[in-house]
Structure 1
């Protein structure tokens, strides 16, 4: 058999290069190629952004990439973590030796604890000759992506990917017709936005009692996008509620000294304590000095508020403070106690577990998750028993007059008022949309 001439070999290589360039050119200059061991001669490239190509060219490009992988003796496998699977199962199924899995788990743990891998999360694995793990990518959500790549000198480099997020401003306007929740949905909001709006004004408006037909709501808020994928709502930038109690306006403001929501004059919209420590379905038991215990069947004081909620519902600290206790507390089960300023302490009882990092002496911020709803201790079902002490005495969490939050600093107030006026003007400009919606109503 005749050996191909050097010229024939050169022509074949030139043809292959032209094929790659026409089919998937971005493969040749991808900004995040996986780092492969030096013994792998053929490069393996990872796509960053899928180009807009005709279907045929897309198929040709995929085949070309697969050809490069095969030439380098590299396999790429993708899938989702199954129920009962862990890192060892995923990598073992891809052909990675057990000793290498153990070493990789140690390298990955500072960034992503393998024990926190959840069913349904997506992964991709690149495996080279003799089961060498070249690259591992783990996608918990569009915003939470982890990656690890083999180092030429051995070992792996692991990190959390800084996913570029686009923040798009959206507006919402509507009138209450029926329930507030249904009115928001009809105006284009989702459940998360409804809850954020209600929580924002919960200190000034009792939406369970004061909502009336014809009340108006307006909001300008952020939507978060990763490429063409919507991943959730960002913060509310400005909002307004017009009801029988007057006009309530909140504007988001952040400086080097303060951050939060304020009215147009710079007063804090929120109190120093949140109204509730979780998103609950109902209040199953209120503060009382004489309550019949549902298990012990005796009458005794209940110095807290029971919030019924599904097991695992996040529980957050209602104010800034320091964790004084996190552990088992008899009939209260797993409990977190947080000490706050001005003599306040808050108790969170019957938790199923604590949030990562919650332990005695840790500082927590208002709204920070400290645990999850459970039924530990003496409890009939999953709920949170929330209690408040002031200067050593129990007080009713629902009626306590908490101190107001800090206002915008005096040195910044003039600039803030000008800033807030612009947002109020934008909210006022949404009024015509209300009339259009009214005219289009069947």
Structure 2
């Protein structure tokens, strides 16, 4: 039988199933009514009990599409100063073949930047001759590079199949949303997905102990391991009885998150310029300045976050200011329209490519948290301007988002009711009120 990657696993399973069926048939003792000629033809003693061990079944082991029992295998991880050429040479591949493999990598795999220390590889060799036949390199969890060491030395990039399962999480805040999820082993990516879904309606810098949350989303798996979160279908947050919903709706024409009434969640401005932060100082016209030691108006909101945390534009607009001053440190100022402007102070550095006059999108990284200028620690002082005056953005009644048209609402309500029903199932399953987060497939 010709070796190589198995292209039709169904065919293998059919043969294996037929063999198991034959064994199962032989395990039954002979019936008295069975024709005499059957035993004579088969030369088989049907009165003898047959044990399954008389028919050993070797279930093949598949990896990267290969039947591992057909090869000698050696696996390892790329070490420091180890190149693809050296690794293949040590495995017994000749220089002409190595050069051809490197040439065939063009357009498939960047050998210089992609062959990194710590990444896994597998060498498959002939059982009899020990000649290397395939080299498998896995640059990430999503794909692998297959080097055919025979003949034409073909190089292929093969994506691993991703399995998607709907998953739910729920919990009660005991510190911050991020910390509550991380404490329960839920990834940072999932926490970010929840904040992204609710970022226009919930200010996550104001999380309070006892706040409740739930989310239904797709979890991606490769080889049974979680590899990333997919689409969020619904997110829910309850702060002292004030409920916020984000229902995902996509009918081809309208796509996005909506509240229970079909109003778009996305608004012109995000609630905060920094994710997973906390407010360290509020807008206050009579604040005692911690450095100057005197009362001085604080016409912004300070969001404390670790040094280097990304700062996002809360709305789309044009950069009208990028400078450094003794008090403000490095700052960016954005004009959103004829009414609103925003300013971001004390940055450690500006985002690459940010220039005065350029257009930025809502949620685009414009800089990074620091403590430049007059600052006691890493934070961003966020200032919100309305008609030329600095105002407290947390108390502003900003324009409400537009709802779905009447012709689409009926379709949306079907999706909404399904998602809300799933959330209620979660509520019914939670028989005891415990702090922390839980997850379920």
TM-score of Structure 1 vs Structure 2, range by shorter chain? 0.5 to 0.7
Q: How does 1:85-234 map to 2 (within 5 A)?
A: 122=119, 139=139, 142=141, 165-173=162-170, 176=172, 181=177, 189-190=186-187, 192-194=189-191, 196-197=193-194, 200-201=197-198, 217-234=213-230
**Quick one: structure 1 residues 301 and 49, their matched pair in 2 at CA, closer, same or farther if it must change by over 3 Å?**
farther
Q: Distance in 2 between matches of 1:196 and 1:378?
A: 34
* RMSD (Å), alpha carbons: 5.2
Contact in 2 for aligned 1:212/1:244 (Cα 8 Å): no
Structure 1 residue ranges without an equivalent (≥5): 1-17, 30-47, 67-75, 96-103, 127-134, 150-156
Residue number among 302, 318, 321 corresponding to 2:317 in the alignment: 321
Aligned-partner SS, 1:398: helix
**Offset from partner CA, 1:202-249 (integer Å, 9 cap, x none):** 666678889686x76432112133443312323421133456535543
TM-score, with structure 2 as normaliser: 0.60
Q: CA deviation at 1:278?
A: 1.0
The answer as to 2:406 corresponding to 1:423 is: no
5+ residue gaps, structure 2, are 9-61, 89-101, 124-134, 148-154, 435-441
| Separation in 1, partners of 2:419, 2:215 | 10
**Residue 397 to residue 249, structure 1, CA distance change in 2 (3 Å):** closer
Report the CA distance shift for 1:90/1:274 in structure 2 as closer, same or farther (over 3 A): farther
Deviation at 1:420, TM superposition (A): 2.0
Aligned partner (choices 409, 430, 434) of residue 430 of structure 2? 434
SS of 2:296's equivalent in the other structure is strand
SS state at 1:379 partner: coil
- Tell whether 2:284 aligns with 1:288: yes
TM norm structure 1: 0.60
Match of 1:337 among 333, 340, 350: 333
Structure 1 counterpart of 2:265: 269
Per-residue deviation, 1:315 = 1.5
Equivalent residue of 1:417, what SS?
A: helix
Look at both structures and tell me which one has the larger radius of gyration over its CA atoms: 2
Q: 1:422 and 1:362, CA in 2 relative to 1: closer, same or farther beyond 3 A?
A: farther
Deviation string 1:114-160 (CA, Å, 9 cap, x unpaired) is 99x99977498x9xxxxxxxx99894x546x898x9xxxxxxx9x9x
Aligned partners of 1:293, 1:212: CA distance in 2, in Å? 29
Are residues 93 and 324 of structure 1, via their aligned partners in 2, closer, same or farther at CA, if it must alter by over 3 Å?
farther
Q: CA deviation at 1:183?
A: 7.1
Quote how far apart the aligned CAs of 1:266 are.
0.5
Q: Distance in 1 between matches of 2:344 and 2:206?
A: 27
Query: Quick one: distance in 1 between partners of 2:377 and 2:85?
Result: 40
The number of residue pairs the alignment matches comes to 356
Q: 1:378 & 1:367 partners in 2: Cα distance?
A: 26
Pair 264,369 (structure 1): closer, same or farther in 2 beyond 3 Å: same
Other-structure match for 2:391: 395
Tell me the distance in 2 between the aligned counterparts of 1:26 and 1:202: 47
Alpha-carbon distance change, 194 to 330 in structure 1, aligned in 2, over 3 angstroms: same
Work out the CA distance in 2 between the residues paired with 1:138 and 1:362.
40
Q: Distance in 1 between matches of 2:86 and 2:288?
A: 56
Give the 3 Å change call, closer, same or farther, for CA 222–345 of structure 1 in structure 2: same
For the residue of structure 1 that corresponds to 2:429, the secondary structure is: helix
Q: Is the alpha carbon distance of 1:236 and 1:380 closer, same or farther for their aligned partners in structure 2, counting shifts above 3 Å? A: same
* Cα distance in 2 between the residues matched to 1:177 and 1:378: 33
2:5 partner SS = helix
User: In structure 2, what is the equivalent of residue 405 of structure 1?
Assistant: 401
Residues 392 and 293 of structure 1, relative CA distance in 2, 3 Å threshold = same
CA distance, structure 2, for counterparts of residue 27 and residue 206 of structure 1: 52
Residue 47 (structure 2) aligns with: none
- In 1, are the aligned partners of 2:257 and 2:266 still within 8 Å (CA)? yes
1:354 is aligned to 2:347:
no
Which structure has more RCO (C-alpha within 8 Å, separation ≥ 6)?
Answer: 2
